[in-house]
């Protein structure tokens, strides 16, 4: 089963959901805010990809961090901050089995969803 993680009002998440629905891809949506972070495999993502790929450094949440937090960022601090502020996570996150994609690109989704 494919799971799409994100926040329902995020424009990129909306595009991903629309693409999945238009292409008749069955998926489960997990909203970081509404469904919580308890079942999000954040630690696994950080271990596999590193905080640099998991966190969205162009987000307003990232810009709101003070420079000391940014300079000291590592997987441990990223996990703590992302659990407190899920909008720091690059969205959407698409998972299927052990595979994970960050962001949305239609051509990548097409090959991933097969």
Q: Which residues are catalytic?
A: 10
CB 79 within 8 A of CB 42: yes
Closest CA to 101 of 88, 89, 83: 89
User: CA dist 18 to 14, 27, 100, 104, Å?
Assistant: 6, 12, 19, 11
């Amino acid at each position: 089963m494919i799971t799409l993680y994100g926040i329902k009002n995020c424009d990129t998440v909306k595009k991903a959901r629309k693409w999945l629905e238009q292409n008749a891809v069955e998926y489960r949506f997990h909203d970081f805010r509404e469904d919580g972070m308890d079942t999000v495999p954040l630690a696994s993502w950080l271990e596999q990809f590193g905080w640099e790929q998991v966190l969205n450094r162009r987000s307003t949440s990232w810009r709101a961090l003070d420079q000391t937090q940014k300079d000291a960022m590592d997987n441990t601090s990223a996990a703590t901050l992302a659990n407190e502020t899920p909008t720091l996570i690059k969205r959407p996150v698409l998972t299927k089995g052990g595979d994970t994609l960050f962001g949305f690109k239609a051509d990548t989704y097409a090959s991933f969803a097969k």
